[in-house]
Structure 1
């Protein structure tokens, strides 16, 4: 390793696993990352799975390390940072959320991510590279799954090795926090093992004694700086009746806290239990936030949900300044009619709708509108700029267009279990004519009662309702396969090039691969497939796709070439 001018060691690693390895063959379908968006332009090859990274990708990283150049630019000096995740919460979604946040803030992935494997990103502490604290806080600040980020000063496999490293830390790295008259405290955190108070105190004392000089003031409440000792132990899955034994220490980190995410504030502020307008299947706040991050939602983005429901997904997107809009076939739900899902409330209150939620959270400037529409025929209502007519349902889907209306489509189509999947019937169903009283017919048509009744009819007579009156169209079952097909076609029509489609599909947990259940479209690149377990037999997959640019080859051609 070559020390930099300021004494910081430049350390870049790329851990690549060969596609033919035994570990690769044992890959599970719980978290399959297919591609990292090439916003930096560093890699433009075919799609890949990080747990089975292809040989030519490993070769690319080797060239980067040997030549020290990315696209003609010198690789900037990076520092190690440890990400602390929220326990075992949605582990399968960690990598794709982090990649999306890096792309959103234009942080190069080649020099940031040290290990792409699923096993590595399942650890409680994940080490990545950032240029400085500002870059680290920019990424972690809006993450749903990351709790804290720490600047790693040294890393070891045991405490004695760590103490030896602390003695050799460069003074410019520690003096600002331990020898400049500031206040500090030291905190010990552990994963997979609970450490007693006495053991923590002894560890803190050993660490401080390892420093040549400590001239700062200890302040346990609201210190200026917080130093952190992170211990990562092997998980212990004890069988009942087996005596407990000491957990094995895998890794030990020492550094300082640089920032934390807003996940706690967001989860508490947007809790579903306190929301005015709620649906039967409103998306969990955390999952909606993850979808917004994967959808690259930012101020000015236009987000659409074609299966809007109560709008919990577009609200999560609007937290970050995106404009939220959507459509749904359920007229009563969009207009706040019927019974409330809240226990004991009964009927919905007047004005209970998505707009009310936006006002509740102070996001009214990000609210566009909702449309009562069938997702299967939504292309008749919306069209991209420059497209004059999409009224023809057989209009060809032009995936090579360099224009688009929407930045992202985020949705959770109904699975047909708790909420039925319906669409407007292609052919009207002939029914027997409706018979109503003269008073009711006058109310419907607006025709005076005297003009409706014939000479020999009384007000109690039943009259036929004319067929040419406005009516709610007949609905029919919407098969899931056709739902996904129409959703992808709609995305190709309306998304801008590079725009994201993030949606969910149900899955029966069997021996088949999760990828076998994923729908495909030649003009949509599959970015990630993440599985959320619901019970022993069922799960659901979150699928992330991006619309190809006009010059990109079809995904079907890429897969066949691979």
Structure 2
């Protein structure tokens, strides 16, 4: 069965990975009909059942609506010819079905007079039911696709009829998942901070992680919990950690993350929140989690830290320090271990090793990786992979001179590796021939990419 998917006009590069992830989650396959171009607003899919199309409409954040496909073409003559040929799909609605007919366009506004002409051109379908603009039994829609002309100055209806393609079908279901963007809007959240991820992107990450009831998902850089809320909404249990517990706690009681989770009715799915450094984690058992989903700090609004000192103590100070640790005084303050910067390229490599240890076979690691646009190459991502880990998604959110990539890595081995020892690498010296575009990203960002290239 063939279906027409109408996408919301956002995050073009994320469309295919989201469709494929939701299909994998619900154990069905998608065949793409014709040219599969994620930059275009319409896509025709072949699915085994109507229920599969409804799942996509109800779960995919970027799906605006799904239609039962009738025809497509580069001209109305071709569209009408195919619609007549597919009479078996729509003739059952002829006798007594109320209907509404929509004519709309992408990158263009169609004048009402021509909309009426288009509707009348389908008169051969011969529907005998009444026209109902508010509550029809079926909604038929014709879509015209135009080239993107948003940077050109033109009259209101200039170029009307110069479309590049047409689509025609019957509405199956409106996309209901997009309403979650408003529900999880950061501005309406009980607890958030300056590093909180925007709702739409965190929902996309939840879909990439295959979050569903019974799954156990981990966020090693929990912060204010932006990844936890959508994954828990989809039924998963969430465990979070952070090197700075203040980010998770906030002010007041209960902790900020739990307050926000209670706002969404999912606080019972937050298993626990712990404060520790992922390079010195207390998890002594691998294969615990179905997914790891996180947004590692890369130094623009908050820098990554790991336990350690920027400079080693002198022998005299070390001796005094050790003596004090061995003979604590009653009025001593709680010991807070010192931290030092955690370079992004080292962090990402360690994160992949940690994921291989902590994930079940088939589990996914989903995280954002910032990159310099002009320096990026595919080798940047494959360079930090390790045996048993495979890239299944790489989508770009473009900000011009830089962008961030949503990387999805799948564990494809059932071998249980030992807990990795995450050494403190010297990020300034590398034995690799290729320097990834995300290395020293913070320095490049604050230098200004254009000035640096000049």
Report TM bin, short chain.
0.7 to 0.9
Task: Describe the SS at the equivalent of 1:283.
Answer: coil
Whole-Å separation in 2 of the counterparts to 1:475 and 1:521: 27
Q: Deviations over 1:452-491 (max 9, x none)?
A: xxxxxxxxxxxxx65xx64111111111122112211110
Distance in 2 (alpha carbons) for counterparts of 1:336 and 1:428: 32
2:238: which partner in 1?
324
2:106 — aligned with what?
Answer: 191
> Structure 2: which 5+ runs fail to align?
322-327, 417-454
Q: How does 1:37-436 map to 2 (within 5 A)?
A: 79-87=1-9, 89-109=10-30, 112-114=31-33, 120-170=37-87, 172-179=88-95, 181-207=96-122, 209-211=123-125, 213-236=126-149, 239=152, 245-246=159-160, 248-337=162-251, 349-378=252-281, 380-384=282-286, 404-425=287-308, 429=313, 430=317
Q: CA deviation at 1:178?
A: 3.0
Deviation at 1:264, TM superposition (A): 2.9
Q: Note the alpha carbon deviations across 1:385-406, whole angstroms, 9 max, x for none.
A: xxxxxxxxxxxxxxxxxxx110
Measure how far apart 1:494 and its partner are.
0.8
| Alpha-carbon separation, structure 2, partners of 1:494 and 1:99 | 24
In structure 2, do the counterparts of structure 1 residues 164 and 482 end up closer, same or farther at CA, with 3 Å as the change threshold? closer
TM-score (norm 1): 0.67
User: In the alignment, is the contact (CA less than 8 A) between 1:491 and 1:501 conserved in 2?
Assistant: yes
Q: Mind listing any 5+ residue stretches in structure 1 that lack a counterpart?
A: 1-78, 338-348, 385-403, 435-443, 448-464, 553-562
Query: Map of 1:444-459 to 2, 5 A cutoff?
Result: none
Structure index of larger Rg:
1
8 Å CA contact retained: 2:29, 2:47: no
Q: CA deviation at 1:511?
A: 4.7
**Kept in 1: contact 2:364–2:408 (CA 8 A):** yes
Change (3 A) 1:513 1:115: farther
Task: Report the TM-score when normalising by structure 2.
Answer: 0.83
In structure 2, do the counterparts of structure 1 residues 360 and 115 end up closer, same or farther at CA, with 3 Å as the change threshold?
Answer: same
Write out per-residue CA displacement over residues 188-246 of structure 1, whole angstroms, 9 at most, x where no aligned residue.
12112111122112211221x121x3111211102121111111122235555899545
2:357 is paired with a residue whose SS is helix
From the superposition, tell whether residues 240 and 215 of structure 1 become closer, same or farther in structure 2 (CA, over 3 Å): closer
Specify whether residues 134 and 416 from structure 1 end up closer, same or farther in structure 2 by C-alpha distance, changes over 3 A only: same
The verdict on how the C-alpha distance between 1:124 and 1:200 changes in structure 2, with shifts beyond 3 A counting, is same
Assess if the C-alpha contact under 8 Å between 1:304 and 1:410 holds in 2: yes
- The match for 2:370 is 506
- Cα distance in 1 for residues equivalent to 2:152 and 2:142: 30
The CA RMSD over aligned residues, in Å, is 2.6
Aligned counterparts of 2:339 and 2:280: Cα–Cα separation in 1: 13
| 1:215 counterpart SS class | coil
- Preserved contact between residue 276 and residue 352 of structure 1 (Cα < 8 Å): no
How many residue pairs get aligned? The number is 404
Q: SS of the counterpart of 1:113?
A: strand
Aligned with 1:121: secondary structure?
A: coil
| SS in structure 1 of the partner of residue 386 of structure 2 | coil
Equivalent position of 1:5 in the other structure: none
SS of residue matched to 1:277: coil
Partners of 1:512 and 1:265 in 2: how far apart? Answer: 34
Looking at structure 1, the residues matched to 35 and 221 of structure 2 have their Cα atoms a distance apart, in angstroms, of 33
Alpha carbons 2:390, 2:409 under 8 Å: kept: yes
Q: Distance in 2 between matches of 1:482 and 1:169?
A: 57
